[in-house]
Amino acid sequence: MAGSPPPAHDVADLGLAGDGAERIAWAAGQMPVLARIRERFAAQRPLEGVRVACCLHVTAETANLVRTLLGGGATVALCSANPLSVQDDVAAALVARDGVEVRARRGESLDDYAAHVLTLLAAPAGGPHVTLDDGADLLVTAHVRGGDALAALLGATEETTTGLVRIRRLEGEGKLRCPVVAVNEARTERALNDRHGTGQSALDGIVRASNVLLAGNTIVIVGYGWAGMGVAERARGAGAAVIVCEIDPLRALEARMAGYEVMPALQAAERGDVFVTVTGARAVLRREHFERMKDGALLANAGHFDVELDLEALAEIAAGGVRSVRPLVDEYVLGDGRRLNLLARGRVVNLAAAEGHPAAVMDVSFALQALSVEELVRRRGELSPGVHAVPEALDREVGRLKLEALGVTIDEPPSEGAATSIG
Ligand SMILES: NC(=O)c1ccc[n+]([C@@H]2O[C@H](COP(=O)([O-])OP(=O)(O)OC[C@H]3O[C@@H](n4cnc5c(N)ncnc54)[C@H](O)[C@@H]3O)[C@@H](O)[C@H]2O)c1
């Protein structure tokens, strides 16, 4: 790449490339599993000639995934799954140092974002062979547009729960035209990314935005799925009293058995100092909840879309006005003078107010992504259109490599017929 002109791009400032390169190298140091895959890809070139389009958070960790795919022989273009998570220096480094077509600027408008998605699908050399999504925007848009956007597509991967909901809807309507690997549902991904990654980084975002002390405060977690479970665990570890709100009786039971208070959101509204939504559903905290909250309550969302807090309703009841009180905190003053503080405009708080999942967590997610792309290419034409699980062997291999990187060894399972079973 050195000396050659940069590829087509839309990034904030190519002058930031040096800082971005440092940030990427720092993350690489915590991504040993991906490094192992990158070495093998460089030797075997399993992605030679493959065009990959990615709509992922444009962060240092993603840059390491992109470099792994490049090393395997792919051409990669990248736009951002969230305008607030873009690391402009990383975007610059990928363009200037790696020759990647990046179309992402921190804070870009939704119109610019939509244009970037379309540009990636209409690459001059033909549409992508593989799409990598975090929220399904590339894949869903490709299906809406059809034509060139779909013509070359041999498969896709999806990184998050909300994206899979959209993709399964397409599948249910009989419209899904390619195999999609549900990276998000791999066992290693669930355990590390959704649970430990979201758990730590959502709280990190809340603390960075507000500087709140978690110890001694009551934190209300709405949604006790994999991600909510992680936030609850970490909040308890930080000394907060945790209340869980759920609509699924089994999940609610799990939360109760884990020792949390469980109650309806209307009741929790009066008790919480900090509220975190993490459901994947719309308007889980609404007007009736806001109206009961204490003065000074903090509202954050860790779900994928900024729809979990009903922001229209919040604006409607803010008779005393809305003002920005810190870079990532907007204060809504209710008619009686109570103040509710919205963090990161209700967007996914660990990305909008912090750095997303730690690199050590994304190591596993992106190892799964890289191996899933390889699998889609290797089995081109064999997999039926539909959502496919990450193959068990691949999931176990990533778990094994991560353990190895952590210096942990475990026993081998007993061989068939060994005398460990009873009867
Ligand atoms: N911030 C991140 O980095 C991150 C990481 C992983 C997942 N996510 C997002 O977080 C959301 C949840 O993901 P997950 O993997 O935990 O999903 P999940 O399906 O495992 O859990 C969601 C839970 O929310 C509950 N729920 C739904 N509506 C509710 C309501 N009105 N009140 C109370 N509970 C309700 C469901 O019963 C379910 O138990 C999704 O939008 C996902 O994309 C974000």
Task: Indicate whether 219 and 241 sit together in one domain.
Answer: yes
Task: Indicate whether 344 and 389 sit together in one domain.
Answer: no
Task: Indicate whether 332 and 204 sit together in one domain.
Answer: yes
- Decide if 410 is inside a domain: no
The pLDDT of residue 49 = 95
Task: Indicate whether 373 and 347 sit together in one domain.
Answer: no
Q: Are 65 and 34 in contact (CB under 8 A)?
A: yes
- Give the tens place of pLDDT for each residue, 10-32: 999 999 999 999 999 999 999 99
CB 372: neighbour CB atoms within 10 A?
A: 25
- Decide if 419 is inside a domain: no
Instruction: Give the Cα separation of 293 and 297 in Å (integer).
Output: 7
Percent of the chain scoring above 70 in pLDDT = 97
- Decide if 3 is inside a domain: no
Task: Indicate whether 260 and 291 sit together in one domain.
Answer: yes
Instruction: Give the Cα separation of 158 and 56 in Å (integer).
Output: 10
Cβ of residue 251 lying under 6 Å from some atom of ligand 1: yes
Reported as a pLDDT band with limits 50, 70 and 90, residue 420 is low
pLDDT surpasses 50 at 300:
yes
The domain that holds 248 is classified in CATH as 3.40.50.720
Let me know if 258 is exposed, middle or buried by CB neighbors in 10 A (0-12, 13-18, 19+).
middle
Q: Are 170 and 204 in contact (CB under 8 A)?
A: no
pLDDT surpasses 60 at 96:
yes
Measured CA angle at 323 (ends 232, 272), to 5 deg: 25
Task: Indicate whether 29 and 139 sit together in one domain.
Answer: yes
The label of the residue with tokens 């990427």 reads 24
Reported as a pLDDT band with limits 50, 70 and 90, residue 1 is low
Task: Indicate whether 175 and 217 sit together in one domain.
Answer: no
| Alpha helices (H) along 122-248 | 137-145, 148-151, 161-172, 187-189, 198-210, 226-237
Cβ of residue 246 lying under 6 Å from some atom of ligand 1: yes
- Decide if 414 is inside a domain: no
Task: Indicate whether 170 and 22 sit together in one domain.
Answer: yes
The domain that holds 164 is classified in CATH as 3.40.50.1480
- Give the tens place of pLDDT for each residue, 51-78: 999 999 999 999 999 999 999 999 999 9
Which residue of 61, 161, 262, 357 sits with most ligand 1 atoms within 8 Å of its CB, as the best mutation to test the pocket?
Answer: 161
- Decide if 412 is inside a domain: no
- Give the tens place of pLDDT for each residue, 266-276: 999 999 999 99
Task: Indicate whether 86 and 138 sit together in one domain.
Answer: yes
| Structural domains counted in the chain | 2
Measured CA angle at 284 (ends 158, 117), to 5 deg: 30
Q: State in Å: Cα 83 to ligand 1 middle.
A: 21
The pLDDT of residue 414 = 86
Task: Indicate whether 202 and 314 sit together in one domain.
Answer: yes
List the domain range (segments joined by +) for residue 173.
Answer: 14-189+357-405
Reported as a pLDDT band with limits 50, 70 and 90, residue 423 is very low
- Decide if 71 is inside a domain: yes
- Decide if 7 is inside a domain: no
Task: Indicate whether 219 and 246 sit together in one domain.
Answer: yes
Cβ of residue 182 lying under 6 Å from some atom of ligand 1: no
Which residue of 194, 229, 243 sits with most ligand 1 atoms within 8 Å of its CB, as the best mutation to test the pocket?
Answer: 194
- Nearest residue to 198 (alpha-carbon basis) of 255, 277, 144: 277
The pLDDT of residue 3 = 62
Q: Are 192 and 365 in contact (CB under 8 A)?
A: yes
| Alpha helices (H) along 211-291 | 226-237, 249-257, 265-269, 287-290
pTM of the full structure: 0.85
Cα–Cα separations (whole angstroms), residue 115 to 41, 120, 251, 317: 32, 9, 39, 34
Task: Indicate whether 99 and 151 sit together in one domain.
Answer: yes
- Decide if 20 is inside a domain: yes
- Give the tens place of pLDDT for each residue, 200-232: 999 999 999 999 999 999 999 999 999 999 999
Asked which of 352, 380, 397 is the last residue of a domain, the reply is 352
Q: Are 394 and 375 in contact (CB under 8 A)?
A: yes
Let me know if 234 is exposed, middle or buried by CB neighbors in 10 A (0-12, 13-18, 19+).
buried
